[in-house]
Structure 1
Amino acid sequence: MDAPHSSIRGRLDRAGIMLSGLCIVHCIASIVVVSALGIGAEFLLSPAFHRVGLAVALVIAAIAIGWGALTHRRRVPFVTAMTGLTFMGGALAMPHGAGEVILTVIGVVLVSIGHLLNLRRAD
């Protein structure tokens, strides 16, 4: 693979990891802010906010991890990330609360691990 393409894929993987971290911060901040202060529920817990986040994660993962899987022929990063995206999608079907947060956190951690594994395979 030539360097420009590797660099683009690496940036997308890093963006996916950053997005996963931001998602975890969002989950924890939402619980703390809404529970402790009772503000921001309309925005922080909005289903539209979560759907957009999942859509962005899907696009980044599809490009970076899909591209990586085609390049390095390793299934583990792809399967790990897709499992994580499935957990994230399942979280959208749940009412707000602990179950949704747990599924989301499991999902974003798995997606992040998929991106890390994909970065390690980039040569």
Structure 2
Amino acid sequence: MEMKLELVAVPVSDVDRAKEFYVGAGFVLDHDHTVSEEVRFVQLTPPGSGCSIAIGSGLTEMEPGSLDNMQMVVADADAARADLVARGVEASDVDEQPWGRFVYFSDPDGNKWALQQLPDWAANA
């Protein structure tokens, strides 16, 4: 049986502020729907990703900022960092590890993201 991860809820305290941050960071705004007074569903997709994130109200019981180490793979950590910084996102310097090159950033609530450039041996496996 095949299973595909296609949506991850990201807990935020201010939906509009988070939406502005993620769109500013280059995520594609798929849709923004107010379902009821209690539920607002905003779906955003990182460029090139098969998995989206959902922010909003009434979507999760997780505390805003409680996600740690959401990870995406990029082809070039230096270029990804430069793009984030050019968009106004505070991003770490590139962290060199034997298992990849990493760039870290957080959204306004403190949800933590990592961008990983795979090492040549892993990318070609």
TM-score past 0.5 threshold? no
Relative to total residues, which structure has the larger strand share, 1 or 2? Answer: 2
**TM-score, with length taken from structure 1:** 0.27
Relative to total residues, which structure has the larger helix share, 1 or 2? Answer: 1
**TM-score, with length taken from structure 2:** 0.27
Of structures 1 and 2, the one scoring higher in RCO (CA 8 A, sep 6+) is 1
